[in-house]
Amino acid sequence: MNNPEDPTFREKIANSQGPSMFSMIGSFARDLKEYIKQGAPNVTTEDYVQRLEACDSCEHILKPQMRCGLCGCLLEHKAKWKTTTCPDKPTRWKEQILDGQGQENNNTNTSNKA
């Protein structure tokens, strides 16, 4: 349905609300560059789930494509990368601490736990 291999995928994205394709590509490229630069650190599974839950209840989500309507990023990837942030003001995601040691580290910030 929303498979990028689908020939109508680009048309569906172009017709949806949210950032333009150029804006989405630029945002993704910036996020990917920073993710790699920092050693490809991922959030914990718990934080990943919390991020996706926040997105699921967010007014900006483009659910058919599972993209953020503000930055255009694919949430499946954006939510996993420790270097990314929610672009909403105020942010809807818990703050992450980057320690520069890549995927071996887990976030120990528990300030937003229920």
| Closest CB 54 distance from ligand SF4, rounded Å | 5
Contact between 87 and ligand SF4 (CB under 6 A)? Answer: yes
Interaction between residue 54 and ligand SF4 (CB under 6 A): yes
Contacts of residue 60, Cβ cutoff 8 Å, sequence gap at least 6: 68, 69, 70, 88
| Stretch in the footprint of ligand SF4 (CB under 6 A) among 3-11, 31-39, 50-58, 106-114 | 50-58
- And the tokens for 31? 């996020």
60 near ligand SF4, judged by CB under 6 A: yes
Other Cβ atoms closer than 10 A to 12: 13
CB 39 within 8 A of CB 100: yes
Compute the least distance from the CB of residue 71 to ligand SF4, in Å.
Answer: 7
